[in-house]
Amino acid sequence: MSLSPMMQQYHQAKEAAGDALLLFRMGDFYELFHDDAKTAARLLGLSLTSRDKGENPIPMAGFPHHQLDQYLAKIIAAGHRAAICEQMEDPKQAKGIVKREVTRVVSRGTVTDDALLDPQSSNYLAAVVTDKAQERVGLAWVDMSTGLFACAPLSPTQVADQLTRIAPAELLLSVDQRDAMPTTWTLDRTITTRPAWAFGQKQAIELLARHFGTQTLDGFGFNCESPADLMALAAAGAIVEYLTETQKTDLSHISTLTPMREGQSLEIDAATWRSLEVTQTLRDGRRDGALLGVLDRTTTPMGARRLGEWLSYPLVDVAAINARLDAVGELVDQSQLATAVRDTLKNIYDLQRLIARVTTGRAGPRDLQCVGRTLATLPALKAKLTGRSSTLLAGIESRIDLCPELRSRLETMLADECPHLARDGGFIRSGANEKLDEFRELMSGGKQWMANYQAAEIERSGIPSMKVGFNKVFGYYLEVTHAHIAKVPPEYIRKQTLKNAERYITPELKEYEEKVLSAEERVLALELELFAELRDLTARVGPRLLSTAAALADLDALASLAEVARARNYVRPEICDEPVLEIEAGRHPVVEATEPAGSFVPNDCVCAGHDVLSAESPAPSPEPQAPSILLITGPNMAGKSTYIRQTALLVLMAQVGSFVPARKARIGVADRLFARVGASDELARGQSTFMVEMTEAARILNTATHRSVVVLDEIGRGTSTYDGLSLAWSIVEYLHNAIGSRTLFATHYHELTELAEQLPGVANRNVMVREHFGKIVFLHQIVPGAADRSYGIHVAQLAGVPKAVSARAEEILAELEATGHRVDTSHVAPAEPAVKKPSKNGSLQLTLFETTEHPVVAQIRDLDLNAMTPLEALQRLNEWRKDL
């Protein structure tokens, strides 16, 4: 069957678009055909019709062109990509079939339109590539809407952690590696596959150097000899290749590539990230209810995104942390300054996303106007920052570039009200361009020209009552009453006779008329031309605007931290290099914010990392060392998780450079933060809870150091009590003996509290509860010592379990306790503690890990049953029973 020329054109474009839905522009509509039409009908609720209704109807669906944005949003939200195929010439002027081309491919990771983006979050496109043996991984990520571009050489175990923090909107993978990638990297992600060559290392270096206009990539801090760096660069190259291929625009706002290396920031793995709910809640992924929700009081989207970045990558350098704390401190102390800064920031637009749209050629007049208005706000902001004592604030002052030439150009050229789209016209201020004023004058009927012309002709002809008029049939004319006909100049051409007047046209009027009629088109054309000039001018200033934008983002994030610190009464933490943790009256930032004011019970936390590896030659310590491990026991609902989570959050906040909710805090910089708290969400990933728990525990035991902070909740829940207890026991021992990290271990295994007697670095804490008329009251207060019982039945009662059930449980408990069955350790399978340490008195450890069999067992083994009568056997049984 032969295809119509247009359908041939369609198929060519569709081939180029690959698996993206092809939006094929036909007149005022975007149409989709074949399978794309079916998908779109389902996805977008369009009605499915057909083209060539005959033997081979082609499924078709479409929507009016001005609804493009709205449909794009739905397409990409559903994880699809859309290739937009435009008409490249005016159909009226086209000879034969209209030329069409795919002008860009829109996907989740490449959008720059505000309508398709969350202003407060970064929108990353990421790429992952591995070597053949899957030993080295390269990860790169870019925010096309702001220009931020980074890459990291990683080991396979780090990939899922990084991806969790970056949360890319779209992930590029090589088509031949896609299936071999672990699901923890790919599950629930929008994936776009690219040909294998797009990830080539050599081509990446060339492509990146060309993109940045540099000879080598050394200047960015890469070593092109290093296999690890090459992997990272290969991923970065794949991103640039993809953007070039799909966006077909200038990408110069992506002006630098930052290498992210291990040890540059606080390492936080995926499970910790989720369980601490730093940027979003575990249950429903909201910002409210997460730490970011409490700390974010920014006034600009740039600030909100910057704060998110800071929380994702807390610092590890004491000086850098103190620099942020100095700036926050200055803003806290000078509340008037802080208020003034925040008020001024309210007039700042999202400069980063504006510039991204300007350089990619997608900006409209209102975007330029927003750039101009932002520039107009800068002098006041800069003035407020002069003479600041903290280095960061002073630095921000000098990084703010007022760009006066651009500002004045935008202000003189743009009208007070600008439309979104340039094609709507009317955005160049009158008086800004003479030609344009003239065209506009013509367009609006040119009253002045008319008056002038009329006056001149009256003067020349001596006909005082002559006037210029307009009608649809003749256009412009001169009207002369019969009384003056004799004086009409000879060159006038008579067109119409009325009762008492004649109407004439003149060559000048005709010429003028033509001008008027084409003026509308010319006004728009000229406005578009002027707009393009303004846009190019802005794009040229782009790099200066972007570094100003970065300074504004920093300022807003700092001001936000100061505002929260002031409003919530946080203090500046003392930051040091020694692995200590001394928190006085610490509070949970999020729980505190949700509970009625003043009802949160503050708690202390003191512990210190022990450098167990170099403990062979310990420097004699003058004072007793703080414990490295705090074992926290207490009934359910007492506040154990809240307490350990709050400690981890305070460490993270301090390393972000934020003040912390406490009366006083001294915090030694952590290299890694581990938290396993609350329900695991990994079940959905097809792994059993226990397997997940152990994988995570293994991760901690294999990577934590004495500089790390570890908080663990109820390790060993997912298996039988004895298994669980044994594991929890040996994990604590290992953390104590082989790692020495600052550890908070919340547990309902009451038996573990005996560890405090055996290991010098372990101390017990419990959460106070009071019994009050048979009910328990949670005091949420952490005190030294072990909890004496677990109160589970009381809690069950509080939760509304029928009275009969809780009463019976009390009975069973009493019985078990009386017969000593609560910890029947004789059933514990032989287990080898990971690191053996001779126990001082070893009582519980012995009972736990004792493997000698009971003497009765030997006697049973030695019995010669064939030589015994049933009565004898019964007697022996009776004796044993007595013995036991």
Name the token pair of 677.
């708290």
Q: Which is nearer to ligand ADP, 313 or 749 (CB)?
A: 749
CB of 279 to ligand ADP, least distance (A): 21
Q: Which residue number is nearest to ligand ADP in terms of Cβ?
A: 639
Q: Which is nearer to ligand ADP, 247 or 275 (CB)?
A: 275
Q: Which is nearer to ligand ADP, 679 or 834 (CB)?
A: 679
AA letter at 854: H
Q: Which is nearer to ligand ADP, 600 or 659 (CB)?
A: 600
Question: Is-contact 830 805, C-beta < 8 A?
Answer: no
CB of 652 to ligand ADP, least distance (A): 18
> Cα separations (Å) of 647 from 311, 590, 593, 598, 674?
16, 12, 16, 19, 11
Instruction: Report the residue from 289, 542, 586, 639 that binds ligand ADP according to the rule CB under 6 A.
Output: 639
* CA proximity to 737, closest of 622, 583, 845: 845
CB of 748 to ligand ADP, least distance (A): 9
| CB neighbours of residue 747 within 10 Å | 25
CB of 361 to ligand ADP, least distance (A): 52
Beta-carbon contacts of residue 469 (< 8 Å; ≥ 6 apart)? 476, 477, 478, 479, 503
640 binds ligand ADP (CB under 6 A): yes
Beta-carbon contacts of residue 130 (< 8 Å; ≥ 6 apart)? 136, 137, 138, 156, 177, 180, 181, 231
AA letter at 469: G
| CB neighbours of residue 611 within 10 Å | 15
Name the token pair of 460.
């020349």
Alpha carbons 468 and 448: distance in angstroms, whole number: 12
Beta-carbon contacts of residue 367 (< 8 Å; ≥ 6 apart)? 354, 357, 358
CB of 648 to ligand ADP, least distance (A): 13
AA letter at 66: H
| CB neighbours of residue 533 within 10 Å | 12
Stretch of residues binding ligand ADP (CB under 6 A), selected from 639-647, 656-664, 801-809, 837-845: 639-647
CB of 778 to ligand ADP, least distance (A): 6
Instruction: Report the residue from 198, 332, 392, 637 that binds ligand ADP according to the rule CB under 6 A.
Output: 637
Q: In what order do the strands lie in the sheet with 258-259?
A: 191-194, 170-174, 125-130, 137-143, 148-154, 258-259
Alpha carbons 884 and 876: distance in angstroms, whole number: 12
> Cα separations (Å) of 811 from 336, 802, 806, 815, 822?
65, 15, 9, 6, 13
Stretch of residues binding ligand ADP (CB under 6 A), selected from 264-272, 466-474, 629-637, 650-658: 629-637
Beta-carbon contacts of residue 793 (< 8 Å; ≥ 6 apart)? 806, 809, 810, 813
Q: Which is nearer to ligand ADP, 136 or 640 (CB)?
A: 640
Q: Which is nearer to ligand ADP, 552 or 648 (CB)?
A: 648
Alpha carbons 444 and 293: distance in angstroms, whole number: 53
Instruction: Report the residue from 344, 642, 647, 655 that binds ligand ADP according to the rule CB under 6 A.
Output: 642
Alpha carbons 786 and 763: distance in angstroms, whole number: 9
* CA proximity to 658, closest of 269, 176, 307: 307
In the chain, what is the straight-line distance between the N-terminal and C-terminal CA atoms, in Å?
Answer: 94
CB of 731 to ligand ADP, least distance (A): 18
724 binds ligand ADP (CB under 6 A): no
CB of 784 to ligand ADP, least distance (A): 16
Q: Which is nearer to ligand ADP, 431 or 598 (CB)?
A: 598
Stretch of residues binding ligand ADP (CB under 6 A), selected from 90-98, 502-510, 605-613, 630-638: 630-638
151 binds ligand ADP (CB under 6 A): no
CB of 806 to ligand ADP, least distance (A): 18
636 binds ligand ADP (CB under 6 A): yes
Q: Based on C-alpha coordinates, what's the Rg of the chain?
A: 38
Q: Which is nearer to ligand ADP, 701 or 798 (CB)?
A: 798
CB of 767 to ligand ADP, least distance (A): 6
Beta-carbon contacts of residue 434 (< 8 Å; ≥ 6 apart)? none
Alpha carbons 762 and 626: distance in angstroms, whole number: 9
Stretch of residues binding ligand ADP (CB under 6 A), selected from 384-392, 403-411, 640-648, 689-697: 640-648
Name the token pair of 680.
């695991």
Binding residues for ligand ADP, total number by CB under 6 A = 13
Q: Which helix (H) or strand (E) holds 674?
A: strand 672-676
Beta-carbon contacts of residue 77 (< 8 Å; ≥ 6 apart)? 108
Give the bridge partners for 583, in sequence order.
Answer: 605, 665
Strands 58-64 and 29-33: antiparallel
236 binds ligand ADP (CB under 6 A): no
Q: Which is nearer to ligand ADP, 31 or 693 (CB)?
A: 693
Question: Is-contact 829 810, C-beta < 8 A?
Answer: no
Q: Which is nearer to ligand ADP, 352 or 646 (CB)?
A: 646
Q: Which helix (H) or strand (E) holds 585?
A: strand 580-586
* CA proximity to 17, closest of 107, 108, 102: 102
CB of 770 to ligand ADP, least distance (A): 15
CB of 76 to ligand ADP, least distance (A): 38
AA letter at 858: A
CB of 798 to ligand ADP, least distance (A): 12
Phi, psi at residue 495, to the nearest 5°? -120, -30
CB of 800 to ligand ADP, least distance (A): 17
Stretch of residues binding ligand ADP (CB under 6 A), selected from 114-122, 167-175, 297-305, 631-639: 631-639
Instruction: Report the residue from 641, 680, 753, 758 that binds ligand ADP according to the rule CB under 6 A.
Output: 641
Instruction: Report the residue from 160, 172, 331, 638 that binds ligand ADP according to the rule CB under 6 A.
Output: 638
Q: Which is nearer to ligand ADP, 20 or 728 (CB)?
A: 728
Q: Which is nearer to ligand ADP, 87 or 636 (CB)?
A: 636
Q: Which is nearer to ligand ADP, 212 or 600 (CB)?
A: 600
Task: Show contacts with ligand ADP in window 592-611 (CB under 6 A).
Answer: 595, 600-601
680 binds ligand ADP (CB under 6 A): no
Tokens 């930051």, residue located? 575
CB of 819 to ligand ADP, least distance (A): 28
Alpha carbons 739 and 677: distance in angstroms, whole number: 20
Task: Show contacts with ligand ADP in window 761-800 (CB under 6 A).
Answer: 780
Site string for ligand ADP, 559-598 (x = CB under 6 A): --------------------------------x---x---
Q: Which is nearer to ligand ADP, 353 or 676 (CB)?
A: 676
Residues that bind ligand ADP (CB under 6 A): 591, 595, 600-601, 634, 636-642, 780
